Structure 1
Amino acid sequence: MNQLVFSQILDGLGLAYRIASNGRTAVEMHRTLKPRLILMDVSMPEMNGLEAAAAIRRAEVGMGTRTPIIGVTAHALKDDREMCIEAGMDDYLSKPVSPNKLAAKINAWIGSDAVALSA
């Protein structure tokens, strides 16, 4: 269900994207696709989002790049945000996610020309 919601929002924002079905796939997609930004669900099978973010950060050591990672979770507690940051994520977004909240986060990390805020 979350993948469908995010797909609809990202389509509406006119962004190109790929969806990983689990954390291991997310790490592999980072390696092969080199995305400009990652929206990382904290609760994923096989390898959760915290583990996947940490693996991506380890892989980036020595590469001279750092892909912004925005953690997405249903939890909105202060500790949840801190766990995301400690795992190597750059920002945090709690569910439910609105198109405007998501667009604002994307703009903050990859520039205002990436997506126009929707009405």
Structure 2
Amino acid sequence: MPRILLAEDNRLNQLVAVGVLRNLACDVEIVDDGAKAVEACLRDQFDAVLMDIMMPVMDGYEATARIRAGQEAAGLARTPIIGLSARAMDGDREVALNAGLDDYLTKPLREEQLRAAFQTWIPTPAEDEVLGPQPAAGALDITVDLTGRGLG
């Protein structure tokens, strides 16, 4: 289950995003400003961050820059950060990517767009990591009870 940090100050947008994230079987932690997002990312490991661009205390661009600097200084892996904004003007996406965000989605958040972003940014475990080693093709996986006490 992917662990996602949602940095969003608007309560209605939080509710929409949490609904979408739960439909995608994600574990969600919510913070309501950029400074708290920085603290959370330097305290815990997340599979991705959904970062509102326009927030009080610290906007998404500054928060992203501080997260990147903190992770680099601590030798931590780079967490994918996906910007969220109600703005859909030409050039907004490029500004976000140039500011260090990995992706940029517009609000209202839609499940299909978030699913596509996650497929790009969140590595999925290989089948054998999820299911464990599988028998070779054509091999039989049989358990035999030789004790007479039953397998149950």
TM range (shorter): 0.7 to 0.9
1:31, CA displacement in angstroms? 0.6
Using CA pairs under 8 Å that are at least 6 residues apart, name the structure with larger relative contact order, 1 or 2: 1
What is the rounded CA distance, in whole Å, between the counterparts of 2:79 and 2:33 in structure 1?
18
| 1:65 aligned residue | 77
CA-based RMSD of the aligned residues comes to 1.4
Deviating beyond 3 angstroms after TM superposition, the runs of 4 or more aligned structure 1 residues are none
What's 2:99 paired with? 87
- Alignment match, 1:117: none
Query: Which consecutive residues of structure 2, in runs of 5 or more, have no partner in the other structure?
Result: 1-11, 126-152
Q: Which has the higher helix share?
A: 1
Taking only the aligned residue pairs, the percentage that are identical comes to 41
Look up the equivalent residue of 2:19 and give its one-letter code.
Q
The amino acid of 2:113's aligned partner reads K
**Structure 1: how far apart are the matches of 2:113 and 2:107?**
10
1:103 and 2:115 aligned: yes
TM-score, length basis structure 2 = 0.70
Q: Give distance in 2, aligned partners of 1:78 and 1:69.
A: 20
1:58 shift after superposition: 1.1
What residue in structure 1 maps to residue 56 of structure 2? 45
1:29 corresponds in structure 2 to 40
Which AA in structure 2 matches 1:44? M
TM-score with structure 1 length normalisation? 0.88
